Structure 1
Amino acid sequence: MNQFRQTAAAVLLAALLLLAGCGTQNPTGTDGTDDTQTPEAELVEIKNGVDRPGYYYENNLTDKAADPFILYADDTYYLYCTGGSRFSVRQTKYLNAWPSESKTILQLSSLGWAREKGWAPEVYAYEGKYYMIFSAQGYNDLHAIDIAVCDTPDGTFKPLSSTPFFAPTYSVIDGSLFFDDDGRIYMYYSKDNSTNTIGGKRTSQTYGIELEKDFSGVIGEPVLISTPEQEWELKSGSVVWNEGPVVFKENGVYYLLYSANYYVSEHYAVGYATSDTPLAKFEKPDNARILRGNGETVTGPGHCNILRSPDGSELYMVYHVHTVPPDTKNGRSLAIDRMVIRADGSIAVDGPSETRRPLPSGANGYRHVHDGFTATGEGEKAEFASFSSVDFLFDGIAKTSFENIYSMDEGGSVTITLDTPTALTSLMLYAPSLAEYVPATVDVEINGKYILRGLAFSSRLGSPVTATLSGLPEGTAVESVKVIAHLADGNEYAALSEIVMVTAREK
C-alpha cells in the first residue's frame, strides 16, 4: 500500500512539473501566441538647422550675359560673354556670387583684321595654356572666326596670327571647340544666314571640321551637321537658324546642342541631336527641343554651353535668357541649370529655373548623393500613375508641374535607405509648381530615431524646403531617411518632384 502511494505521488509530481514546464513555454494561453509587445521607441524631435546660402544659387535674371561661356579652373569660375569691341571676364569662387566688375582680356582693335561685333567667346584649357575662340566682323563685312592664347584664363589673350583662323568666303560665327578622347580636335560653327540662302530662305546652319592639334589650320572640308528642319525651328518666317553649337560626348555618344529661331523672339530655344561620329549629320529626335521660355517671366533661352560639376558627377547647361517681354535695352541674362542624360540617351534640362537650386556637386566641399541607396514609397495617390514614381525624385529634374513627380495621400511617405551610413548635412525637397500638388508640410525622420516636424514650403512655387540636419547628435551617420507628406487644406494630393541629399562638407 505504501509502495502504491509512493508511485502515485511520483506520477502526480511528474504531471505537475510537466504542466509547469508548459506554462513556462506559453505564459499567455494555449494557442502559442505572445500578446506582449515592446513599446515603440519615441522619436526624438530635433530642430531644423540654419539654412545656409552657401548651398545654393539662383537665376536672378539680372546678371547681364549674352552668349555666356563658363570655364572652371583652379577652383574658380570664369565667365566670358559677347562683348562688342572687346572681350572681358568675370570670376568667382561661387556660382551664387558673380561680381559686377569685369576685366578686359582682348580688344578687337589689337587683331588688325576685326572691326566690330565680337561675339560668343569660349575659353578652353589645353596643354598648359588657355585658348579663346570667338567670331568678329572684319573690314570686308564678313564674320570670321579667330583663336587667341594666354597663359592664364584671365590674362591678356594674343591672337595666333595676324589673320583670322577661319575666314571662308561667307560669314561664320559661334565657333566652339571639342577635344575628343582620342586626342583629335574639332571646331563647330554656324554658317550665318547673312550669306547663306537655302530654298529661298536665309538659313543659318551648323558645320564641323577637324583642326590641327597645334591650331595651325584645319583638316579636310567642313561637314554639315545640323540645319533647321523641325516645325519648332521654323518660327521666324523667311529667316531661320541653327546656331550656337556645342558638342560633348557622353557614354560614347556625340551630343550636339544648338539654338533655333531669332534670338530676341519668344521662339528662341535649345535643341539637341546625336551622332556616333563627330563629323556627320547629327540625328534629331522627333521633338529635339529641350529648353524654352515659359511665356510668363522667361523667354528666349539659348546659346548654351556645358559646365561639369567640380566633382564631375553632374552636367549643367549655361545659357542666356530674356525677360518677358524681351528687354532689348538691358539685354540678356545669365542662367545655369542642371542637365541630365536619361537612361534612354535623351536629354532633359531642369529649367529655365527661377528658384533656388543646389550648387553643383563638389562646390564648396559639398557633394550630392546620386547612388548607393534604395527608395520606396507608401501611400501613393496618383491620378495618372505613369506620371508618378519614386524614381522621378532622384532624376535631377525639380522643375515640373504634374509630370515626373511622386504623388501621395495624407501621410504618404518616401523612405530612403542608404547602402552605407553617410554623413548628410541637408536634404532639399522640391514640390511641383502647381499649388494643388504642394504639401502643406513635410516631416523628415532620420534613422527611425530623430524627426524634424512641420517643414513648410514657401508660397513661391518651385522653391524647395530644406531639412538641415545640424540638430542631429554630433557624429551621427544617416542610414535611412523617411519623408512624410501632409495635405494642404483643400488639396487632394501631396507631391514631391525632387529630393537632393547633400553630404557633410569635406575638410
Structure 2
Amino acid sequence: MSTPLTDIQIRDPFVLTLPDSHEYLLFGSTDKNIWSGPATGFDSYRSKDLVTWEGPSPAFRPSPTFWSREQYWAPEVHEYQGRYFMFATFIAPGHLRGTQILSSGQPEGPYQPWSDGPVTPRNWQCLDGTLHVDQEGMPWLVFCHEWKQVHDGAVMAQRLTSDLRSAEGAPVFLFNASEAPWARALDVPSVKDREFPVYVTDGPYLFRLTSGRLIMLWSSFGDDGYAMGIARSESGTVVGPWAQETEALWSANGGHGMIGRTLDHRLFLTLHQPNSTPNERAAFFPLDELEDTVVLSSPGTGAGATSATQRG
C-alpha cells in the first residue's frame, strides 16, 4: 500500500538513491517514541518518485543479545566496497551513547552488527556518525561529541580501518557549535543551571561539490528553533579548517538533513520538520549547486523534488 510522506512519522531522514532499480529508500529514526522506552529498530520505505512510499519494512531488528535496547537514532546507509553499511546511534545503561556500524549485502537490509560496538570513543557521549571517504579512498567517521558532556557541542573526525570494522588513530577536532554565527545557546529549563552555555551539534553530512570543494551540513538551534547550516572546508579535506556560513540554510523548526540526488541527477535537501514528536515528517526541497556551497532553489527552478512548500 502506498503511503504519503505526511503519514510517515520519521526523524533524521536519510535517502539512498538506487539507480539500478530506479527507486529510493528512506531510512530514519522510526520508533514512535525514540526518547524513552524499549526500541523496536529501524524501518525503511521504498519509492519510485519521492512522493508515495511503500512500507514500512524492517531494516534492523536487534537480536536478544544486542547491547542496546532503547533510543535508536539517526541511521544512515552508505554503499562501500560492494556492501551496504548502516551508521546508527545507540545507548545502554552503563554505556555512553555512540555510533555503531551495521552491514548488509542488500540496501534494504536486514542489517547486522559489523563493528564490535561503537566506533566512537567509549568514554565520550557521541551521536550521529556519518561516513566520509576522502579523495585518497580513506574512510572517515564524522560525528558529534555531544553537548551533554562538553557543553559546546563539537564535530569530530575519526579515521576508520579500510574494512569499517574499527577506529584507527585519535579523533580530530573540527569545530564547536558556537563558531557558527547563526547558532544560539540552548534555552530550555534542563540546562538553566549549567555553568556554561550549551550549544548543540547534530547530524553532520559531508558533500563534495562538482568544483571539488567540500561542505558539511550540520544542525543546531538558531533564533527560530531547530536549524541547519553549512560549514566549508578551506583545505578541501575532512580535517579542515572549517569555516561557517553566516546564515543557516534552513532556519526554522527543522533540520538533521542530508543532500540527496534524484534519479535524473538533480540535488535535493532532506530534513525533518517540525522538530516535535510525534509530528516530525520528512521533507524534500530542491537545491542549486554553486561553486562553494548549495542554496535552496528559487520557486519554479531547481530539482523539482517533492516536498512541503515552506522554506526556512
Q: 1:214 to 1:141 in 2, by over 3 A?
A: closer
Contact 1:88/1:105 (<8 A) preserved = yes
Match of 1:310 in 2: 263
Match of 1:65 in 2: 10
Contact 1:131/1:150 (<8 A) preserved = yes
Contact 1:178/1:186 (<8 A) preserved = yes
Contact 1:145/1:167 (<8 A) preserved = no
Contact 2:115/2:164 (<8 A) preserved = no
Partners of 1:190 and 1:217 in 2: how far apart?
A: 17
Match of 2:24 in 1: 77
Partners of 2:226 and 2:297 in 1: how far apart?
A: 17
Q: Give the alignment partner of residue 202 of structure 2, picking from 243, 256, 264.
A: 243
Q: Equivalences for 1:135-174 in 2 at 5 Å?
A: 135-174=89-128
Do residues 217 (structure 1) and 162 (structure 2) align? no
Match of 2:271 in 1: 319
Structure 2: which 5+ residue stretches go unaligned? 188-196
Match of 1:94 in 2: 49
Q: 1:179 to 1:350 in 2, by over 3 A?
A: same
Which has the higher mean CA deviation after the structures are superposed, 121-130 or 220-229? 220-229
Cα shift at 1:112? 2.3
Partners of 2:249 and 2:138 in 1: how far apart?
A: 29
Cα shift at 1:359? 4.4
Structure whose alpha-carbon radius of gyration is higher: 1
Q: Which amino acid aligns with 2:51?
A: N
Per the alignment, in what secondary structure is the counterpart of residue 68 of structure 1? strand
Match of 1:115 in 2: 69
Match of 2:129 in 1: 175
Match of 1:234 in 2: 184
Q: 1:161 to 1:225 in 2, by over 3 A?
A: closer
Contact 1:123/1:131 (<8 A) preserved = yes
Match of 1:283 in 2: 243
Q: 1:134 to 1:178 in 2, by over 3 A?
A: same
Contact 2:255/2:273 (<8 A) preserved = yes
Cα shift at 1:62? 4.6
Higher relative contact order, structure no. (Cα contacts within 8 Å, ≥ 6 residues apart):
2
Q: 1:356 to 1:320 in 2, by over 3 A?
A: farther
Partners of 2:154 and 2:227 in 1: how far apart?
A: 15
Match of 1:204 in 2: 153
Partners of 2:102 and 2:5 in 1: how far apart?
A: 32
Q: 1:249 to 1:81 in 2, by over 3 A?
A: same
The superposition leaves residues 78-136 of structure 1 with CA deviations (integer Å, 9 ceiling, x where unpaired) of 1111134211111111211123x311121245562213111000001122211101011
Per the alignment, in what secondary structure is the counterpart of residue 195 of structure 1? helix
Q: Which amino acid aligns with 1:92?
A: S
| Percent of residue pairs bearing the same amino acid type | 22
Contact 1:67/1:319 (<8 A) preserved = yes
Q: 1:186 to 1:292 in 2, by over 3 A?
A: same
Partners of 1:239 and 1:89 in 2: how far apart?
A: 33
Do residues 347 (structure 1) and 306 (structure 2) align? no
Contact 2:144/2:154 (<8 A) preserved = yes
* TM-score (norm: length of structure 1): 0.52
Partners of 2:215 and 2:227 in 1: how far apart?
A: 16
Q: 1:209 to 1:161 in 2, by over 3 A?
A: closer
Cα shift at 1:142? 1.3
Partners of 2:71 and 2:25 in 1: how far apart?
A: 21
Match of 1:336 in 2: 284
Partners of 1:358 and 1:252 in 2: how far apart?
A: 21
Contact 1:138/1:144 (<8 A) preserved = no
Partners of 2:67 and 2:7 in 1: how far apart?
A: 34
Contact 1:122/1:176 (<8 A) preserved = yes
Do residues 268 (structure 1) and 229 (structure 2) align? no
Contact 1:241/1:260 (<8 A) preserved = yes
Cα shift at 1:242? 2.2
Partners of 1:321 and 1:358 in 2: how far apart?
A: 20
Contact 2:9/2:281 (<8 A) preserved = yes
Structure 1: which 5+ residue stretches go unaligned? 1-58, 197-201, 294-299, 364-397, 401-507
Q: Give the alignment partner of residue 259 of structure 1, picking from 214, 219, 239.
A: 219
Contact 1:62/1:334 (<8 A) preserved = no
Partners of 1:320 and 1:278 in 2: how far apart?
A: 25
Cα shift at 1:290? 1.3
Match of 1:193 in 2: 147
* TM-score (norm: length of structure 2): 0.82
Q: 1:163 to 1:235 in 2, by over 3 A?
A: closer
